[in-house]
Amino acid sequence: MSDAREPVRALILFGPPGSGKGTQAKLIQDCLRIPHISTGDMLRDRMRHSDDLGEVIRRLVDNGDLVTDELVNQMVDERIGQADCAAGFILDGYPRTLSQAGAICQRLAEQSIAWLVVHLKVDYNVIIRRLAGRRHCLECGAVFNLESNPPKAAGVCDVCGNPLTVREDDREQVVRKRLESYDARTRPLLEFFSAEGSAFYEVDGADAPPPQIAMRICELIRNTNGE
């Protein structure tokens, strides 16, 4: 269990695809001035080294498989030991398995780092609508949204004028599958953190603009720390 006497320094962020988790992590990073640690980003970075380890990671990630617990635990362990994490950090995409959850809790407890878990909740129909409205420009990488950020001319990229496309994994059937798999994968982790007695909050990720939602999460941490 996290030690209530220690100020919360680790934020463990969960949220389904399309919940705006990445956006929240960045906003919270700016607000609390603590680094955002995304294991997905770290692994993609590591994949760029074309050595044996980079290749092993690439094969797993490209297959949609998880990288081994041992490797990810070690990577996170090293990362959170760095100087810029001294005041705190945000974990995004980690832990992803019960074994990772056990490892991080043990590591944080050993270092007297208290943690707080936030599950960003967004109605799945809202997510499906959000993702189905996304339009990508394959030419320059710009992303639009028919509801929140429409292109000036329908179907055409504002930036470079090329046609916009729907990404295969944003199509409704695929999104439903991704959400189901998120649920199956994440439920045991959320149960683990609740049972373990962690400070655990479900935060509505869709009832306000992203900066307001981030503010609420920052407030949760500050309130827990009695600030």
Which positions are annotated as active-site residues?
A: 21, 96, 134, 167, 178
Nearest to 218 by CA among 13, 1, 3, 18: 13
Nearer to ligand ADP, 39 or 157 (CB): 39
CB of 98 to ligand ADP, least distance (A): 12
Shortest Å, Cβ 62 to ligand ADP: 8
How far apart (Å, rounded) are the C-alpha atoms in residues 55 and 21? Answer: 28
To ligand ADP, the closest distance from the beta carbon of 144 in angstroms equals 20
* Peptide bond connecting 95 to the previous residue in cis, omega within 30 degrees of 0: yes
Q: For residues 197 and 113, is the Cβ–Cβ distance under 8 A?
A: no
User: Which residues here bind ligand ADP, judged by CB under 6 A?
Assistant: 17, 39-40, 43, 60-61, 64-67, 72, 93-94, 96, 100
Q: Which residue is nearest to ligand ADP (CB)?
A: 40
Residue number with CB closer to ligand ADP (94 or 144): 94
Question: ∠ CA 214-91-178 to the nearest 5 degrees?
Answer: 85
List, in sequence order, every residue forming a beta bridge with 137; answer none if it has no partner: 164
Q: Which is nearer to ligand ADP, 34 or 67 (CB)?
A: 67
Taking the least distance from each CB to ligand ADP, the nearer of 39 and 198 is 39
Q: Nearest approach, Cβ of 199 to ligand ADP (angstroms)?
A: 21
Residue 13 has which token pair?
């962020």
- CA–CA–CA angle 11, 12, 17 (5° rounding): 130
